[in-house]
Amino acid sequence: MSKQKIESAIAKLRELSSTPVKGDCLLTWERSTEELQAVLLVAEVLGELWRNGTSARVFDGGLAVSIFRDQSTRTRFSYASAASLLGLDVQELDEKKSQIAHGETVRETATMISFLTEAIGIRDDMFLGEGHKYMAEVASALDESFAEGVLPQRPAVINLQCDLDHPTQTLSDLLHLKRSFGSLDALRGKKLAMTWAYSPSYGKPLSVPQGVIGLMTRFGMDVVLAHPPGYDLVPETLETAGTFARESGGSFTHGHDMAEAFRDADIVYPKSWAPLNVMEQRTQLLKDGDATKLDALEQQCLAQNAKHKNWECNRKLMSLTRAGKALYMHCLPADITDVSCESGEVAADVFDRARLTTYRQAGHKPFIIAAMIMLSRFDSPSTVLTRLVENDARRYAE
Amino acid sequence: MSKQKIESAIAKLRELSSTPVKGDCLLTWERSTEELQAVLLVAEVLGELWRNGTSARVFDGGLAVSIFRDQSTRTRFSYASAASLLGLDVQELDEKKSQIAHGETVRETATMISFLTEAIGIRDDMFLGEGHKYMAEVASALDESFAEGVLPQRPAVINLQCDLDHPTQTLSDLLHLKRSFGSLDALRGKKLAMTWAYSPSYGKPLSVPQGVIGLMTRFGMDVVLAHPPGYDLVPETLETAGTFARESGGSFTHGHDMAEAFRDADIVYPKSWAPLNVMEQRTQLLKDGDATKLDALEQQCLAQNAKHKNWECNRKLMSLTRAGKALYMHCLPADITDVSCESGEVAADVFDRARLTTYRQAGHKPFIIAAMIMLSRFDSPSTVLTRLVENDARRYAE
Amino acid sequence: MSKQKIESAIAKLRELSSTPVKGDCLLTWERSTEELQAVLLVAEVLGELWRNGTSARVFDGGLAVSIFRDQSTRTRFSYASAASLLGLDVQELDEKKSQIAHGETVRETATMISFLTEAIGIRDDMFLGEGHKYMAEVASALDESFAEGVLPQRPAVINLQCDLDHPTQTLSDLLHLKRSFGSLDALRGKKLAMTWAYSPSYGKPLSVPQGVIGLMTRFGMDVVLAHPPGYDLVPETLETAGTFARESGGSFTHGHDMAEAFRDADIVYPKSWAPLNVMEQRTQLLKDGDATKLDALEQQCLAQNAKHKNWECNRKLMSLTRAGKALYMHCLPADITDVSCESGEVAADVFDRARLTTYRQAGHKPFIIAAMIMLSRFDSPSTVLTRLVENDARRYAE
């Protein structure tokens, strides 16, 4: 992306018919398509500024708080990178080191960590029906404290994965598609297969497939969801996908045949997840703290998974795709047969050919997160970006 | 606070008869009243600069080390916020991840973590007779290493709660009172009830009540300490409070009747703490690592607490206060009846009315900590603040 | 160091016959002597800039990632200090909080944490034959991802201690010697005794003695390695030391007599380490996760150690050194007899006399690490340093 292309991206950002409204992007389907396009444009500009050595530190101090209720490498580092890019200092809320257990309410904690905070990133994907609820509760508490003058600013709330959606992942995926196919318009009519894949693991969240079908259907793609019987997603997310497909002139179909999904696909996204009913039981057992039943459930789920080892993205399946060359996507880490496990989501040779491409896919995430923070915190991101380009403060000595 | 008021606060800071002497504020009672007033003034200016979007990054790099020997949310985030505000990078000393256990002395560690360090914040409130001693030992080691040229600078030591005092909390409390009543002078003759309150928890430190009576008695208030028999504080802190009350023209009384304490009070601060003799036994058992006896002590203490469930700040008690409208204070999190526990320090309706006010009380802490660091590290904080106002570097892009 | 001396150091840096080649200093013996001299010169200039209050923030954001696979205080804080000095934000990769266990490859993780990363510091010293291998694998993955355009920059990889070498320690040691004796040339002909010493601990890495003999032999010193029979080091490191000694006109001898090693020594470095064969067995048992055998090995090793309690650096041994006044060195923390243990590496009176000197020795490490990052990331560090001096941006308000 040359300087000219940066300027063109900023111009497009300025032109987006509905000016991006400030607010959190907790679920992509709650935001307008223009708003999502704005996230991509800002992310592209920020990425290019980084590569050009232009500083994008739009803050001079202030915290970017992170709350990880589940493990994370990629997203943790993406969030920290976004914070550093913008000039914020990461402070992690480690619930084990805090007094939160001591009867503190969510709304109290939300305020207590926010007096000098510009962004709060949250991962909460373990409990079905809980993650999004928690984030919405935090957001609402911040609204109150800001309205009442308790907080001098309303921090952006960034969903770093909940039980329903994983917007920083799926918008990175969308930016990857935009870059791979040339534009969002070029995605129109492309076939994307979001499929289950076998993994010898258990309890993987549903948010990626849900997020992918709920986002990609907005851009005129033919989105196919395929999984073995029983591996259903939260029903509302399928309805959303259907509605978006109708509105965008694309399509959304749902089946149980991996090969059928792969046939003539331009893009394949084979990824494991846990069956909805297992996740529901697991959520209850985690709440109850019933370790014995949790173990039993895990064994049962692993046994169920093992019946579907043929759901592996291998050379034979790939050969069914458009010219045998579909774009392979994965949010990483992938379970790779003979590399990370005996039998996994993807064959080693297929993954190896796509490996660097999946790294590129992941590389958008820091900039997507930074874009979300900017869009939430600034009235006119296009003006801010223009000034960054003009000032061209260097981000390293020369 | 307008720009004019900022300038007036800086002018007052300049006028304070005794120029604030550089040094740590480990115990408020070791510092002059003028020095404490200086902390409030600097905190107020820093708070206003933040709200006005003026950068207060007086450092361009350097560490703000934190050592938490007990859990913390509020103080941890306040410290991180203060560091970010001033341009320092937080580095936590996690004693579990370090080699400190391997026979390293306190004075060695103090130096090893300080080569590029501007502030060291310490929470050490678990062991009676230990916390303050440890901080003083760190401070003395830093003095030596600075005097000997081993350290290029003498980091500020910030007491983030010890066994005796909790200065960042009580000075936030004092700033809250100054703001609520209009000035420090307006506090003269006001009645403040620092009372014990029931909580189904165990081992809460004594530092807040000790710190409150040791600070508020310096400003001409009528301070009443009330608790059930046996819930004594460290005797020296009561003596200090008595002396200060005499000197300031206020009063300090000590009793065992919550209603009496609340009667006509302008301010109430009902908060649980552990009995002194339990804390003494606990300190010994923790040192001995005697888990069985610790459990027994906890049970015995909880049983003893349970005899005083009527020490709850409820509507009836509040109605006894000045016009039934005393300012309710708490350092948070409060144990709220029917919210965080069956029976607690405060009734839900009383807390709910005061909730946002307690959040404001907490919101001063980041600025108090930042003020302490500035007063410790700069010869003329008023000059530094004046330049910040004049330069008006923006803390976010516009 | 005056401003004049800073300029002279920069001039020397510019003159170094072989311009420092960008690259990681994973093992000092893989880099040219000129490159190591460059590290010292940059570190000296950075140290002096810090003491003069000149900002050295050559980055405006970006991450300094740290990976600690073993405990650390000194090095952790040195790394964080170096990052803060240069304007980078530390982000620790805590392998317990990450998904790395989930079958992710080293090369994938290396890339995933590096999209906006300028440096990766790694401590991996527990497994003989593994630590250096891991670092080299990370470095090679970064090379690939940078070459392929996946990463916009190639982060510096900083060895914060591996199984073979501990370059940030030994280069700090070398800078300490340069400062103590006046110059690197002045070290020529000086006798340095790197000896084992008794410690009631187990499993201490071999990297410090290996690194010391592999570095100090390059500067014309007479390096003597002494340890009880059985406490061998990795054989290749002895070969390297021998070769360097021949090339530099110094000498390298190897024996089993502490007194002989101390006789007429100018510098003594008495320090405990584990026997090579114990480390080999331990590596295997750690891999196997065999806790029972690990316990047995520890007991056996401690018993073996206990036979050598007379390997203590005491007044009598010190009296054998040059004029009884050899420079005592230790990487800290030292096991001090009657202070941190009943019987240890050094007698209390010997350590106490040298204590502040060992602190100075440690104080170079933040600047050594910062110098390594700068040399790895900038084409012309001398130009960058010159501009820092000329601009003289202040690192704190005045």
> Cα(C149)–Cα(A72) distance, rounded to whole angstroms?
25
Q: How far is Cα C100 from Cα C96, in angstroms, rounded to an integer?
A: 8
Phi, psi of C255 (to 5 degrees): -150, -170
What whole-number distance in Å separates Cα of residue C80 and Cα of residue C92?
10
- Confidence (pLDDT) at C3: 85
CB B166, CB B197: distance < 8 Å: no
The H or E element containing residue B251 is strand B251-255
Q: Do C339 and B384 touch (CB under 8 A)?
A: no
- A295 Cβ partners below 8 Å, 6+ apart? none
**SS3 at position A32:** coil
The Cα A325–Cα A215 span in angstroms is: 23
Comparing alpha-carbon positions, the chain B residue that sits nearest to C363 is B115
Q: Give pLDDT, residue A245.
A: 98
Question: Within 10 Å of residue B260's Cβ, how many Cβ atoms?
Answer: 16
In this prediction, residues A242-266 reach a mean pLDDT of 98
Cβ-count burial A314-326 (b if 16+ within 10 Å, e if not): eeebbebbbeeeb
* Residues B386 and B14: beta-carbon distance below 8 Å: no
Neighbours of chain B (3+ CB pairs under 8 A): A, C
Task: For residue range B198-235, list pLDDT tens digits in order.
Answer: 999 888 999 999 999 999 999 999 999 999 999 999 99
Residue C118: pLDDT band (50, 70, 90) is very high
Nearest to C150 among A68, A359, A365 (CB): A359
For residue B199, the model assigns a pLDDT of: 95
The CA distance from B95 to C71, in Å, is: 10
Chain B residues whose C-beta sits inside 8 Å of any chain A C-beta:
50-51, 55-57, 68, 71-74, 76-78, 80-81, 83-87, 89-90, 201, 332-333, 335-336, 339-341, 344, 355-356, 359-360, 362-363, 365-366, 393-398
User: Residue B398 has what pLDDT?
Assistant: 84
pLDDT confidence of residue B68 = 92
**Which of these, C309, C213, C211, C310, lies nearest to C254 by C-alpha position?**
C213
Q: In angstroms, rounded to a whole number, what is the distance separating the alpha carbons of residues B37 and B314?
A: 33
Confidence band, pLDDT 50/70/90 cuts, at residue C2? confident
More confident residue, B190 or A282: B190
Determine whether the interchain pair A71/C97 forms a contact, defined as Cβ–Cβ distance below 8 Å: yes
Note down pLDDT in tens along chain B; length 398 residues: 678 889 999 999 999 865 656 789 999 999 999 999 999 999 999 999 999 999 999 999 999 999 998 888 889 999 999 999 999 999 999 877 665 545 568 999 999 999 999 999 999 998 899 999 999 999 999 999 999 999 999 999 999 999 999 999 999 999 999 999 999 999 999 999 999 999 998 889 999 999 999 999 999 999 999 999 999 999 999 999 999 999 999 999 999 999 999 999 999 999 999 999 888 998 889 888 889 999 999 999 999 999 999 999 999 999 999 999 999 999 999 999 999 899 999 999 999 999 999 999 999 999 999 999 999 999 999 999 999 999 999 999 98
Q: What angle do CA C185, C188, C193 make, to 5 degrees?
A: 130
> In chain B, which residue's Cα lies nearest the Cα of A103?
B340
CA separation for the pair A161, A159 (Å, rounded): 5
**Which residues in chain C are closer than 8 Å to A84, comparing Cβ atoms?**
61-63, 88-89, 91, 116
Quick one: pLDDT at residue A17?
63
Inter-chain contact C112–A393, Cβ cutoff 8 Å?
no
Question: Residue type at A109?
Answer: T
Task: Give the integer Cα–Cα distance in Å for C231 and C251.
Answer: 21
SS3 B327: strand
Does the pLDDT at position C43 exceed 80? yes
Q: Looking at residue C100, what is its pLDDT?
A: 54
E-assigned strands of chain B? Answer: 63-68, 89-92, 117-123, 156-159, 191-196, 222-226, 251-255, 267-271, 327-328
DSSP 8-state secondary structure symbol assigned to residue A153: S
Does the structure show a pLDDT above 80 at A211? yes
Q: Which helix (H) or strand (E) holds B252?
A: strand B251-255
Question: What single letter denotes the amino acid at residue A312?
Answer: E
- Digit-coded pLDDT (tens) for A129-151: 999 999 999 999 999 999 999 99
Q: What's the half-sphere exposure (Cβ side, CA atoms, 13 Å) at C235?
A: 1
Q: Are A367 and A333 in contact (CB under 8 A)?
A: no
> Residue written as tokens 């928890």?
B201
Collapsed DSSP state (helix, strand, coil) of residue C256 = coil
User: Residue C63 region, left (φ>0) first, then alpha (ψ -120 to 50), else beta?
Assistant: beta
The residue among A183, A178, A136 whose CA lies nearest residue A157 is A136
| DSSP3 helix / strand / coil % (chain A, rounded to 5) | 50, 15, 35
The predicted structure's pLDDT at residue B18: 58
Q: Which residue of B has its CA nearest to C335?
A: B103
**Residues whose CB is less than 8 angstroms from the CB of residue C367 and which lie 6 or more positions away in sequence, other chains included:** C43, C44, C46, C47, C50, C82, C85
**Given a cut of 80, is residue C318 above it in pLDDT?**
yes
Q: Do B61 and C55 touch (CB under 8 A)?
A: yes
Residue numbers in A near B68 (CB within 8 A): 97
Average pLDDT over residues A28-36: 95
CA distance A376 to B361: 27
Stretch A111-135: mean pLDDT: 95
Number of neighbouring beta carbons within 10 Å of residue C183: 10
CA distance B302 to B297: 8
Candidate from A104, A112, A384 with C-beta closest to B77: A112
Average pLDDT, chain A: 94
Question: With contacts defined as CB-CB under 8 Å, which chain B residues touch C355?
Answer: 108
Nearest residue on chain B to C73, judged by CA atoms? B98
Closest CA of chain A from B160, distance in Å: 14
For chain A, the C-alpha Rg in angstroms (whole number) is: 21
Percent of chain C with pLDDT over 90: 85
Q: Find the mean pLDDT for residues A367-375.
A: 97
Q: Average model confidence (pLDDT) for chain B?
A: 94
Q: Which of C71, C87, C201 sits opposite B97 (nearest CB)?
A: C71
Smallest CA–CA distance, residue B152 to chain C, in Å, is 6
d(CA C99, CA B275): 45
The sign of the CA dihedral B36, B38, B42, B47 is: positive
The nearest alpha carbon in chain B to A377 belongs to B396
Q: Which chains touch A (3 or more CB pairs under 8 A)?
A: B, C
Test B152 with C51 for CB contact under 8 angstroms.
Answer: yes
Per residue in B277-312, pLDDT tens?
888 998 889 888 889 999 999 999 999 999 999 999
**Contact flag B378-C359 (C-beta cutoff 8 Å):** no
Give the CB-side neighbour count of residue C388, counting CA atoms within 13 A.
31
Task: Tell me the chain A residues in contact with residue B78 when contact means C-beta distances shorter than 8 Å.
Answer: 115
Distance CA A153, CA B361 (A): 17
Q: In percent, how much of chain A has pLDDT > 70?
A: 96
Q: A352 Cβ partners below 8 Å, 6+ apart?
A: none
Dihedral sign, Cα of residue A128, residue A129, residue A135, residue A137: negative
Cis link prior to A333 (omega < 30° from 0)? yes
| Chain A neighbors of B395, CB-CB under 8 A | 59-62
ipTM of the complex model: 0.96
CB contact under 8 A, A73 and C93: yes
